[in-house]
Structure 1
C-alpha cells in the first residue's frame, strides 16, 4: 500500500532591498533562497516615513535619483534571470511591507541593516508592524566591513581619528567571506508592481543626464567588471596615480558601493586575492584598501553623529564668520572661478556626476577658505550633483577640508590651486579636457593664465574676462582672509 503525502508549500519570503541592489553577497537574499521558499524582492520608495521624524533620511539628489533608476532596472533583470522578480512600491515602509505581507501570506521578511539612525528607525517601525501581525523578520549585516559597535573607545564612543580606527579594523582580521548569488529563485506570481518610469527619477525637461549616460553603466554586473578591470589593469602605481586627475588611476567604484551594487567585503577579498597573486602590488593594494577604510570610517562617524551634514563636529566652528556671496558661489558651481584646476573639477562634476578625489579637496578648500562660504553649501551642491553622494563620506569629507570635522585637516592648511594644478596635473591633461578654452596655453601658464603676456594669450586664443574669467579672488588675499577668520574663532575659543 502506497501512502500519499501532501507537502505544504513553504510560505513566501519578502526580501526588502534598500542600499544593497545586488544578488551576490546579499545576506538577506541568501538566507531567503536557502530556505527554498518563494521569494519576493521588494524596493520601496519611502519619502513619508522620514518626513515624520526629527532626523530624516536625506532625499536623494538629482544625480543619485538618475543612478537609482538604472540600478533598479539592472536588479530587476538580474532577478528575472534566476526566476525571481522585483516589486516596486511607494509609501511608508512599515505600512507597505505589512500590507504586502498580509496580502501574499508571507512567512518572513528579511533585509540587510543600514547602520544609519534614520534607516534603523524606519526598520524598527517595520519590525514592530510585522510583529503585531505575528510575522517573523530578520536583519542581517551587509553594509560594512565591521559593525560600528565593534570599534569603540574606553568611553564606548566611536573613534574620531582614522589611523587608529583603521588599525583596529585590520586587527579584527578578514571580514566574513562574501556569499554567492542564488542560482535559482521561486517567484510569487500576481504581485503588482509600480513601473520605475512612473517614479520620475530621471530628468526630462531639461534632460541634463547625457553626460551621466556617457560615463556610467549602473548595476551589479558593471560593478564587478569595473573591480576586475581595476585590479587587473590599474592597481599597479595606484599609490601615486590616484592623485593624478589626468590619468585613469582610480577604481571609480564609489557609486557602485553607494548603491550596494557591490559590497565592501567583495572589494576586500578581491583586493587581498590580487595581492596574494602579485606580491609586488601589496603597497598599492594596501593603499586602495585604506580608501575603502575611509568610507568605513565615515560611515562609523555617521552612526555616532546622524546630523553630520548639518552640524560642525568641532563646536568652535559654530562661530566661524562665513560669508554670503551668491555671485561667487554661482561662479564656483559653474566652473568659472578663474582657477583652471578648480573650474575643471566643477565642470567634470556637472558633466559626469563625479569628480576626481584630489580635485574634490582642492575645490572644497577653495570654496570654504578662499571664498569663506559655509561648507554646508558646498556639501549640498555635491549631494545633488554626485552619483556617489554618500550620507557619510560627503559631509565627513567636507568637514575634513573645512577643518571642522573628525581627524580634520587644520583650517590653516589652505590648498593653493595653482600649485595643486602644477603638481598633480603637470602635463595639463585634466585641465585641457574640461577647460578646453585654455587648451593652447603652454604647461607653465596653463594653471595661472593671468600671468601670461598679451601675446601669449592671443596666440592661445584666450581673452581673459571674455573667453575665460579672471580669478574671482586673489590667492594670497584669499589665504590671508581665511587665516584671519580662523584666528577669530581661535581667540573666542
Structure 2
C-alpha cells in the first residue's frame, strides 16, 4: 500500500488558492482529496435543502477537475467519526490536511478528529483559509478581542498587506495528486435529498463594485454581490475577494468582508454567543413569542410591506436583500417581541448563504443584544425605511403583488404602540440586571 496524505475538503470547495491543499501537495506523499457528506449536519436539513444541491453540484465539478489531472475526489456519506476508521482500512494514510472552521460543531469535530488521528499515529495539520485574519491575529493592546466593529476594522485594515492576500499556487503542484481510477460517489437520492429548483448566484460580482456603495442599500436594484454562498462553501477564495475590493477601491465592500471576519472572531472568542445573548443581561428579556405573529412574519403577511417583501423574497429564492434583513430582524424582535433565536433559526433553514457567525451576529445586532455600540432603543420604522430605500415601492410590488389592494393584510401591530412596548420591556429587563 502506498503511503498517502489526505486533503479533507469542507468549506473550501475549490482547487485554486486553497491553503491546506497547497501544503498537502507540497508534503512528502501523494495527495488524495476527500469530501464527507456529514450526516451529523445533513440529518437536520429538509429533503429539498438547496445548499445540499449546491454542494453536490460543486463536488461533481471538483471530481471532473481532479479526473483531468489523473486523480479523483473520494466522496463519502456518513458521520466523520465512523467514516475515518473505514478510510484508514482502505488507505495507508500518513498525514491529513484541512482548513480551519470556527463554528462550535466544527471545532468539536476537529478536536475529536485530531485526537483520533494522533492515536493512529497520523499527523493532522490545519490551516487558515476562509478569512484573512483569525483567532488572536487582531487583538486590542491588552490582548483581549475587540467587541465593537469600528476599532476592529481599523486594525484589520492597517494590518492588511499583499502578503495576506497572495494566492496559494496549488496548480504548480498538481503532479503530486494521487493518481487513481475514478472513484464512486453517493447520489443525492441515495442520501435522501431531492434536487433543488432554486437558482444559485453566479460569481460575477466584479462589475458591481464600482457602484456598490451607491446601490447596495436599495433592494429594487441588483446592487449587491451575492457572494455569501460562495464564501460560505469556499467556491470563492476570500483572498481573491479582498484583492478585487482593493483593486476596485471599493472600501464599502471591503468593510463588508471585514464584518464577516469580525463576527467569526466573536464566535471564536465567545462561542456561547451562538445560542445565548452576547450581552448576557439581554437573556432576561421577557419575549412574547406569539406563534401566530411568528407565522405571519415567516409567511410575509404582517401588513408591513417592506417586511413582507423581504420574507417572501427569502421564501421563494433562498436570499434576502441585506438592508431588508436588518428591517425584518428589527421588526421581529422589536415590533413583535419575538426572541431573536426564532428568527435566526428560520434564516438558518432558508438562507442559501447562511453562515452561523454572520447570521447570529446580524440577529443579535437587530435585537440589541450583540456587538453594537448603539443602545437598545434603536427601533427601525419600516415606513421610514421604505421611504428611504424603496420610495417607488418597486421592490415591494415585485414581491407583494397585492400591495395597495383590499387583499393586502392589515398591520398586525401599530408602530408607535410596538415601539413604546418594546422600550418598556427592554428597560425593565435591563434595569434589573
TM over 0.5: yes
Which aligned pairs between 1:331-370 and structure 2 lie closer than 5 A?
Answer: 331-370=296-335
Q: Does 1:25 align with 2:22?
A: no
CA contact (8 A) 1:401 1:409 kept: no
Taking the aligned partners of 1:133 and 1:202, their CA distance within structure 2 comes to: 37
Deviations 1:79-130 (A, max 9, x none): 3333332222233424422431342213322111113343233222222222
The answer as to whether partners of 2:73 and 2:183 remain within 8 angstroms in 1 is no
| Residue 279 of structure 2 is aligned to residue 304 of structure 1 | no
Partner of 2:54 in structure 1? 67
Q: 1:346 to 1:42 in 2, by over 3 A?
A: same
Matched ranges for 1:73-222 at <5 A:
73-154=60-141, 156-174=143-161, 175-182=164-171, 184=174, 185-189=177-181, 193-202=185-194, 209-210=196-197, 212-213=198-199, 216=200, 222=202
Greater CA deviation, 339-348 or 83-92?
83-92
C-alpha spacing 1:330/1:427, structure 2 compared with 1 (3 Å): same
Aligned to 2:218, the other structure's residue is in SS state coil
Describe the SS at the equivalent of 2:420.
helix
Q: Report the 3-state secondary structure (helix = DSSP H, G, I; strand = E; otherwise coil) of the residue aligned with 2:144.
A: coil
Rounded to whole Å, the distance in 2 between the matches of 1:334 and 1:187 is: 51
* 1:368 positional shift: 0.6
Equivalent position to 1:45, from 37, 41, 49: 37
**Whole-Å Cα distance in 2 between the matches of residues 295 and 258 of structure 1?**
10
1:279-314 CA-to-partner distances (Å, cap 9, x unmatched) read: xxx3xx111010000000010011012232320111
What is the count of residue pairs matched by the alignment?
A: 426
Distance 1:10 1:178 in 2: 30
Aligned position for 1:255: 229
Cα separation, 2, equivalents of 1:301 and 1:58: 27
Aligned equivalents of 1:434, 1:77: Cα separation in 2? 39
Q: Deviations over 1:2-44 (max 9, x none)?
A: xxxxxxx963221101111111111222233345854322112
Change (3 A) 1:196 1:121: same
What's the offset of the Cα at 1:139?
1.4
1:15 paired with 2:2, answer no
| Contact 1:400/1:409 (8 A) holds in 2 | no
Query: How much does 1:68 deviate?
Result: 2.6
Q: Secondary structure at the match of 1:158?
A: coil
Cα pair distance change 1:408/1:468, threshold 3 Å: farther
CA distance in 1, matches of 2:303, 2:374: 25
CA contact (8 A) 2:71 2:182 kept: no
Aligned-pair Cα RMSD in Å: 2.3
Distance 1:143 1:59 in 2: 24
| Shift in Å, 1:408 | 5.3
Instruction: Please state how far the C-alpha of 1:165 moved relative to its aligned partner.
Output: 0.7
Is the Cα–Cα contact under 8 Å of residues 22 and 261 in structure 1 kept in the other structure? yes
Corresponding residue for 1:481? 421
- Partner secondary structure for residue 164 of structure 1: helix
Q: Which of the residues 408, 427, 430 maps onto 1:490?
A: 430
Match of 1:379 among 344, 359, 367: 344
Could you tell me how far 1:418 is from its partner in structure 2?
0.9
Select which of 353, 360, 374 maps to 1:388: 353
1:74 to partner: Cα distance: 3.0
Structure-1 separation of matches of 2:102 and 2:319: 25
Aligned partner of 1:268 in structure 2 is: 242
Structure-1 separation of matches of 2:290 and 2:262: 33
Q: 1:359 and 1:68 mapped to 2: Cα distance? A: 27
* TM superposition score normalised by structure 2: 0.91
- Displacement of 1:385 in angstroms is 0.4
Tell me if the contact between 2:4 and 2:93 (Cα under 8 Å) persists in the aligned partners.
yes
The structure-2 alpha-carbon separation of the partners of 1:491 and 1:125, relative to structure 1 and needing over 3 Å to count, comes to: closer
* Structure 2 counterpart of 1:443: none
Q: Is the 8 A contact 2:131 2:261 kept in 1?
A: yes
CA distance in 2, matches of 1:253, 1:409: 28
- Which residue in the other structure is 1:446 paired with? none
Q: Match of 2:83, SS? A: helix
Q: Structure 1 CA distance, aligned partners of 2:112 and 2:290?
A: 43
Equivalent residue of 1:367, what SS? helix
**Which structure 2 segments of 5+ residues have no match?**
none
Find the residue that maps to 2:295 and give its secondary structure: helix
Deviation at 1:171, TM superposition (A): 2.0
Q: Secondary structure at the match of 2:136?
A: helix
